[in-house]
A = this chain, B = another copy of it.
Amino acid sequence: MLISSFGEFGLIERFKKQIKTDSTVIKGSGDDCAVLKFDKLHHQLYTCDMIIEGVDFTRKDDPYLIGRKAIAISLSDIASCGGTPRHCVISLGMPKSTGVKFIDRLFKGMLDIARLYKVNIVGGDLSRTQKLILDVSILGLVEAKHLVLRSGAKPGDIILVTGSLGGSIHGKHLRFTPRLKEARYLVSKFSVHAMIDISDGLAQDLGHIAKESGVGARIYQGRIPMSKDCANIEDALYSGEDFELLFTVSTKDAAKLLKIKPREFTAIGEVVEKKYGLKSVDNKGWVKPLKPKGFRHF
């Protein structure tokens, strides 16, 4: 039997259920970041993301953007939990035939984004591989009172997103802005109930929030802000790597937020009770099941 019969998430579940953690772990695997005890007022956020030639980028992409992306993805995870990034370590595997110019551009992409978001690159590991591969692990901090997980959505909440969705494959997946500024703004001014970054596609990531929160959700297709490169509504619902924030707040907070920042944030739906499932409403008012499909490695 092959691992593909379990699928990516089945495999993760299979491993996760065997893991035991001690009392210093506030939240282990299963969210955008692990949450660890730090001090009285703060938690530490910890996560890793691997990107691979031929899956997450191609050898023809600008190496500057490849290096940038490797770190930006992890930054996006820190944003999802409402935190501030602090330190990262980078494992880099590359073929012996890699050119110095290529690697210098890759390094520069990493250095520039690290500097921009004030992340210390504090270590790494270099290996010889057949395909280029980058794995970034990152540490962040979040005030205990500002921590947001996937699990806090409540029926009646409004579902919102930052930016616009779809068509990321045409370039945004390499150039996206990790939504740290927006996340910090949200957690400091509002009570964000649940948050995730859209890495696997809106439908699938909304599915993660719904599952962890024990709720259902209803999305209005006509409300989804579509990127200029977005081909159609399917693209906006199911394609991955937008790296926008998907979050839920009370109706009161949503109204307040949309009044102050109508351009940065868009309401796209509402949280409902679990029994109503995940649904999307098209422009004619037809309600359809929203399948939690999207990008999967297996």
Contacts and interface: CB of A to CB of B under 8 A. Distances in A.
Interface of A: 1-6, 8, 11-12, 14-15, 18-22, 24-25, 28-29, 33-34, 36, 39, 46-52, 55-56, 86-87, 89-91, 93-94, 96-101, 103-104, 107, 111, 114-115, 118, 120-131, 133, 135, 137, 139, 297-298
B25 A87 contact: yes
Secondary structure dominating the interface of A: mixed
Nearest to A38: B38
A100 B55 contact: no
State how many copies of this chain the complex holds.
2
A50 B135 contact: yes
A-B pairs, top 7 by smallest CB distance, nearest first, are A137-B137, A34-B122, A50-B91, A21-B120, A128-B297, A135-B135, A29-B123
Contacts of A103: 3, 11
Contacts of A1: 99-101
B94 A3 contact: yes
A19 B120 CA distance: 8
